Amino acid sequence: MTATLPRRVLLGAELPGDDEAFTVDGVRIVDVVPGGMADRAGILPGDTLITLAGTQVRDLCELAVALRRAGAASMAELVYLRGGERVARTVETVAMPAEQVDCAIVDYGMLEVAGARLRTIESRCGSPRALVLVIQGIACESVDHAASPDAPLAMLVAELARAGYDTLRFDKRGVGDSEGGPCRDIDFETELADARAAVALAADRARSRGIPLVILGHSVGGIIAPLVAQQARTLAGIVVYGTPVMRWIDCLVDSTRRQLELRGASEAEIVHREDEMRALADRGELNGRSAAYHRQLAAVDIEGAWRTVEVPVLVVRGEHDWVVRADDQARIASLARAATTIVDVPGLDHLFGWHADHEASLRDYGIGRADESLSTALCRWLDPLSSAP
């Protein structure tokens, strides 16, 4: 393996919502960013990108492969449809830019695990108070927000940096710059092993800087957090956001029932949808993850994992989290063996996005804006922890 991990290219295109972005032909484009590869190739809103660097782009995993493949060369061909006509343009590649955090240095590195190089992103302050390792949720989405600095996670990292906290993130296999995958085919045990390796790296970083290590797990990342906590003997605490104690599939089924009840669906409709979701998981068609992933995740003893945790825990619950029940998140406090704090943050949905009310959170799920209330809650809990002798 080479010493460096290449950056993927910047397509510079806005896609529609998840259910509308991809077709049997490729990916629909709703807007184009000046200076990106789509712009250079003459792509316009309404076009459908068919291939990039000779690779089809019919779903997120194929698009991720294409972006990485294009990043390995100086030129790449884009083929797209406009009004039923195929257009092909070969243009100079544009590397994805690096994230910028005002008061921190951002380092792009890599973590080698079982034949794959995973992208790591660190933000480092001048005099850090602690290192926060971020373990993301189930989605095959990049934690690299160089092209989306206003994303809630990007804003959270920046706000933590301003408060004096280093952060370390890593992309899943087949996502962003990371090798391996496609992500949709990776099972949970492999992803768990990658998280263990990331914890080991973070523990080394924290030890070398003489600062505490804290794990921040989001959603399924919060399920992973207690499973990997024993990997870091110097771990000072765990923060979880939107994390269930019930099995993930049961959590999704419960969430679906609650939302359908609010919309006035009949019991027959609700039961049909619940059965449909379980079948999707069994077929590997839920959350963009494989059947093996869902099967292995469902087998995790989540309660047992939390009973092994002996460091302080912060459970953060978003007011508009329709995915995970507030009372289920609160169960962590009765399981962990150390002090557990529960904080409710107004306005936030399951993906850290802020919404004005319940209706807006249901209507605009996934596109809520960032809000400083999350970092405020984290820092209020982290500050005394990082100041402890």
User: Tokens 């092994």 label which residue?
Assistant: 308
Closest CA to 231 of 206, 276, 198, 209: 198
Mean pLDDT, residues 217-237: 94
Strands 13-14 and 31-32: antiparallel
**What are the residue ranges spanned by the domains of the chain?**
13-92, 105-247+300-387
Cα separation of 226 and 197, whole Å? 14
Query: CB within 8 A of 327, min separation 6: which ones?
Result: none
Query: CB within 8 A of 137, min separation 6: which ones?
Result: 218, 219, 220, 221, 242
Question: Is-contact 140 191, C-beta < 8 A?
Answer: no
pLDDT of res. 365: 82
Mean pLDDT, residues 127-151: 95
The conformational region for residue 284 under phi > 0 = left, psi -120 to 50 = alpha, else beta, is left
pLDDT of res. 2: 43
CATH of 105-247+300-387, one of 3.30.360.10, 3.90.1150.10, 3.40.50.1820, 3.40.50.10420: 3.40.50.1820
pLDDT over 50 at 71, yes or no? yes
Lowest mean per-residue pLDDT among 5-9, 28-32, 228-232 = 228-232
Query: CB within 8 A of 299, min separation 6: which ones?
Result: none
| The two three-digit tokens of residue 146, written as one number | 């160089």
Lowest mean per-residue pLDDT among 18-27, 113-122, 284-293 = 18-27
Lowest mean per-residue pLDDT among 14-23, 199-208, 335-344 = 14-23
Query: How many percent of the chain have pLDDT more than 70?
Result: 98
- Residue 306 corresponds to which amino acid? W
Question: Is-contact 197 111, C-beta < 8 A?
Answer: yes
pLDDT of res. 218: 98
pLDDT over 50 at 7, yes or no? yes
Lowest mean per-residue pLDDT among 48-52, 212-216, 266-270, 360-364 = 360-364
pLDDT of res. 1: 38
pLDDT of res. 363: 84
Mean pLDDT, residues 102-123: 95
Question: Is-contact 26 58, C-beta < 8 A?
Answer: yes
**Residue of 243 and 386 predicted with greater confidence:** 243
| The two three-digit tokens of residue 292, written as one number | 């093996």
Q: Can you spell out the DSSP letters for 6-42?
A: PPPB---EE---HHHHB-SS-EE-SEE-TTSHHHHTT
266 burial level (CB within 10 Å; 0-12, 13-18, 19+) = exposed
Question: Is-contact 238 309, C-beta < 8 A?
Answer: yes
Q: Which fold has domain 13-92?
A: Pdz3 Domain (2.30.42)
Sheet of 165-170, strand order: 105-113, 116-124, 165-170, 130-135, 213-218, 235-241, 313-320, 340-349
pLDDT over 80 at 3, yes or no? no
Cα separation of 242 and 221, whole Å? 9
pLDDT of res. 195: 98
Residue 366: half-sphere exposure toward Cβ, Cα within 13 Å: 7
Question: Is-contact 276 269, C-beta < 8 A?
Answer: no
pTM for the model stands at 0.93
In tens, the pLDDT along 295-309 reads: 999 999 999 999 999
pLDDT over 90 at 181, yes or no? no
Mean pLDDT, residues 322-327: 95
